[in-house]
Amino acid sequence: MTKEAIDMPQKGGFSFDLCKRNDMLLQNGLKMPSFLKTGTTIVGLIFQDGVILGADTRATEGPIVADKNCEKIHYIAPNIYCCGAGTAADTEAVTDMISSQLTLHRYHTGRESRVVTALSLLKSHLFNYQGHVSAALVLGGVDVTGPHLHTIYPHGSTDTLPYATMGSGSLAAMAIFESKYREGLSREEGVALVAEAIRSGIFNDLGSGSNVDICVITKGQKEYLRNHMTPNPRTYVSEKGYSFSKKTELLSTKITPLRETVVVIEGGDAMEE
């Protein structure tokens, strides 16, 4: 029979085959490799016309910043996006998988995907893995039944809320929401509030930092504002410039740009097979 392109576990759920071996290794003094966690501040809120999702862009590996500008707002469907906190690989893989399942579902039903469908698929997957898939998600979108916002915890429980925060910076962001959120916010007010909440996480939590990403979803339209705000700019070149001491004679100057411009030739010869 056809071999699946992607290897899935035969009967679903976590395979506990190697647990005994891992325990034995730990007892013998092996240090388990650490995984890339996203630290993170992720938020979502429902405003007048739909849903706004926000996230910071720092990915941490213990005390080290592994990625200064990663993307934490993942695509699920044209009208549904999901912010992910926890282990980066887990959030990426799980959102990718559910996005794929929803595409097939859309072909079969001929209808726009609903947020509760994505919610059910995500929570049942996470529950099957009993919390070992470390993904804490903020799922938001607008479908025929209206705007929806949910939080999903790694063990598979969910909440439906008008405003939500997750991740290590969630308390900092929630403080902003609790004092300033009200129903029926306009788009500008909503975006400003989300940006403020993320900034609060960025500056007050070590696990969050760098820039603010925002995604605004309304009926029939979505706007992905990547790096909407960059409150932590970096300078790579000293503004003072370089000058040599008086005794050195400048013979020639050659400036090599760090980024090469690539010229793409349209309609060139195809590569040989």
Partner 1 sequence: MGDSQYSFSLTTFSPSGKLVQIEHALTAVGSGQTSLGIKASNGVVIATEKKLPSILVDEASVQKIQILTPNIGVVYSGMGPDSRVLVRKSRKQAEQYHRLYKEPIPVTQLVRETAAVMQEFTQSGGVRPFGVSLLVAGFDDKGPQLYQVDPSGSYFSWKASAMGKNVSNAKTFLEKRYTDDMELDDAVHTAILTLKEGFEGQISGKNIEIGIIGADKKFRVLTPSEIEDYLQEVE
CB nearer to partner 1: pick between 61 and 71: 71
6 binds partner 1 (CB under 8 A): yes
What gap in Å lies between CA 102 and CA 20, rounded to an integer?
36
Give me the catalytic one of 38, 40, 41, 91.
Answer: 40
Cα–Cα distance measured from residue 266 to residue 264, given in angstroms and rounded to the nearest whole number: 6
Q: Is 40 a catalytic residue?
A: yes
Q: Among candidates 162, 177, 194, which has minimal Cα distance to 54?
A: 194
Diameter of the chain by CA atoms? 78
Nearer to partner 1, 98 or 174 (CB): 98
Closest to 51 in 3D by CA, of 198, 214, 200? 214
Minimum distance of partner 1 from residue 270's CB (angstroms) = 9
Instruction: Give dist(CA 197, CA 212) in Å, integer.
Output: 10
Q: How many other C-beta atoms can be found within 10 angstroms of the C-beta atom of residue 11?
A: 6
Our CB check for partner 1 shows the closer of 1 and 144 to be 1
Q: How far is the CB of 109 from partner 1 (least distance, A)?
A: 12
Q: At what angle are helices 170-180 and 187-204 packed, to 10 degrees?
A: 140
Residue closer to partner 1 by CB (options 239, 272) is 272
Separation CA 137–CA 82 (nearest Å): 7
Q: How far is the C-alpha of 197 from the C-alpha of 38, rounded, in Å?
A: 17
Do the beta carbons of residue 169 and residue 200 sit within 8 Å?
yes
Cα distance between residue 135 and residue 153, in whole Å: 7
Does 2 bind partner 1 (CB under 8 A)? Our answer is yes
| Interface characters, 91-130, with partner 1 (x: CB under 8 A) | -----xx--x--xx--xx----------------------
Q: Which is nearer to partner 1, 255 or 270 (CB)?
A: 270
Minimum distance from residue 4 beta carbon to partner 1 (Å): 7
Q: How far is the CB of 10 from partner 1 (least distance, A)?
A: 16
Which residue, 170, 220, 219, 236, is CA-closest to 198? 170
x/- binding map, residues 41-80, to partner 1, per CB under 8 A? ----------------------------------------
Shortest Cβ 210–partner 1 spacing (Å):
25
Active-site residues: which are they? 40
Residues that bind partner 1 (CB under 8 A): 1-2, 4-6, 96-97, 100, 103-104, 107-108
